[in-house]
Amino acid sequence: MSEAPLIGKVALVTGAARRIGRSIALRLASEGADVIVNYRSSKSEADETVAQIAATGRRAMAIHADVAKRIDVLTMFTAVEREFGRLDILVNNAGMFFPAKFEDLTEEQWDTILDANLKSQFLCSQSAAVMLRRSGQGRIINFASLGGLLAWPAYVHYCVSKAGVIMLTRCLARALAPEITVNAIAPGTISFPGDAPEIAEDFIRRAPLRRTGGPEDIDDTVVFLAQSPFITGQVIVVDGGRTLT
C-alpha cells in the first residue's frame, strides 16, 4: 500500500463540518484525497475544516447544501464537477438522531428523520453516480447505525431510517456495479472529547470490549472501504461487539 493511497482521488463527505464527518474529511485528506466538505448550518466549522485540509497541501472546498433537498444536491454536485472535474468517493454521513415516544411521534418528526437519514443518501448517490462511474473506481460509503440492526422503541423513526439505509446500500451495490462499490458502516457509540460520560455508560456495559469507539475507528473503516475493489453491498459493524449481546 502506498504512503498516500488516495492520492489523485476526490472525495465528498456530507455533514463534514463536525464530529465524525469532520474526522473522516481530515483523514481522507491525510491519505491523499482532495475533499469537498458539505455542511448545512455549521459554516464556521466547515471553513475551519477546509483550512486544516488546505494546510496539508490538499485541495478542499466547503459547499453549503441541505442534502435532503434535490435542488441543493444538484447544485452541490454541479459545483463539484465544475471545480474538481471528477468524484471518486462519496461518504453519506449527514444524519439526525433524536428520541420520540411512539405514541407521540408526529408526522413531521417522521418525515424529518427519514429525509435527513435516508432520502439524503438516495439523492446524493443518484446525483453522484455519473461522476463515480466515470472514475471507474467509484466508492459510495453510507452511514447506517446499530439502530438499523437493533429495535429501539424510543427511536422507531430513527431505526426505520437506518434500516432503509442498509437496504438502499444493498440495492445500489447491484444497481451501480461494476463501476461503483457501495457499502455501509454501522457505528456503535463513538466518543469525542467533552462528551458527557453518562451517554456511553449503557453501551460500555453491554459491549464485550467494554469501551466506546473513537473517531479513528470509523476513519480506518472509511479508508479501508475507499480502497477495497472487491467488497460491495456490505454493512461493516464497528461497535466493539455490542450487537453480540
Which candidate, 119, 122, 128, 236, places its Cα nearest to that of 180?
128
Tens of pLDDT, residue by residue over 25-76, are 999 999 999 999 999 999 999 999 999 999 999 999 999 999 999 999 999 9
User: Can you give the pLDDT at residue 198?
Assistant: 83
In three-state secondary structure terms, 63 is strand
pLDDT tops 60 at residue 157? yes
Q: What's the rounded Cα separation, in Å, for the pair 182 and 232?
A: 5
pLDDT tops 60 at residue 78? yes
Q: What architecture (CATH level 2) is domain 10-244?
A: 3-Layer(aba) Sandwich (3.40)
pLDDT tops 70 at residue 1? no
pLDDT band at 193 (very low <50, low <70, confident <90, very high): confident
Global confidence as pTM: 0.96
Grid coordinates of 166: 442498509
State the catalytic residue, choosing from 33, 158, 165, 172.
158
Residues 6 or more apart from 172 whose CB is under 8 A from it?
125, 140, 180, 182
Pairing of strands 138-143, 60-64: unpaired
Q: What is the mean pLDDT of the chain?
A: 96
Is 39 a catalytic site residue?
Answer: no
Q: What's the rounded Cα separation, in Å, for the pair 39 and 79?
A: 14
pLDDT band at 196 (very low <50, low <70, confident <90, very high): confident
Lowest mean pLDDT among 108-122, 154-168, 169-183, 194-208: 194-208
Distances (CA, A) of 72 to 62, 92, 127, 128, 173: 14, 15, 11, 13, 25
pLDDT tops 90 at residue 199? no
Lowest mean pLDDT among 21-30, 139-148, 198-207, 226-235: 198-207
Residue found by looking up cell 455508560 in the block: 201
